[in-house]
Amino acid sequence: MRYRCRVALLLTSVVLSSATELRALEPSWRLHAAFPAQWPPTLGAGLVLRVPLGAAPEPTRAGSGPATLHVRNWFLHTSVAVALNTADVDTPMGYGQLGLVRRVHLGPIDRAGLLAAGSLGPKGIGPALRFEAFNGVVGIQPGWMWFEGDHDGPTLAFDISLAFIGDIFRR
């Protein structure tokens, strides 16, 4: 009984201490299209989750003026999606990514990073670059994947925020 109480207390403290961190997550439902090497294009939807890395910086104040707010620049980027192969719509495929993305200031490009991308049906894995534009609304991902059956080659994926698409049609 004492063991269960300690475990419950530990789990509760972990949940409560990370509640502020959970608010910092950036989930985004996306519509995406991919051109995977020598396979037919895929269309699908999925979830992109960016987790800010490091402790939240404290605002600084110079004299009696307004405080300067600071942001975290590094993010853990994860994504899972389900897609349909345009040549065989009866066979769904899974798609996932994991990597690091950094806030950058390159014209319309807001974030850039390096990911590992993988797919199921066809099975494949490989590295990809990720560029996000217009405050993360649009993602562009060139890369290379090694697929089963010697269908290795360059890949290109695009994704766009479903919230953005919804905002366009509400006006």
In eight-state DSSP terms, residue 166 is H
pTM: 0.76
| pLDDT of res. 58 | 78
Contact 76, 50 (CB under 8 A): yes
Query: Does residue 17 register a pLDDT over 60?
Result: no
Residue 81's Cβ-count burial label (10 Å; 0-12, 13-18, 19+) is buried
Average pLDDT, the chain: 82
* Domain positions in the chain: 25-54+70-170
Domain 25-54+70-170 classified CATH 2.40.160.20? yes
Lowest mean pLDDT segment, chosen from 21-25, 56-60, 137-141, 149-153: 21-25
| pLDDT of res. 48 | 92
Q: Is the dihedral of CA 50, 51, 54, 57 positive or negative?
A: positive
Query: What value does the mean pLDDT take over residues 65-94?
Result: 84
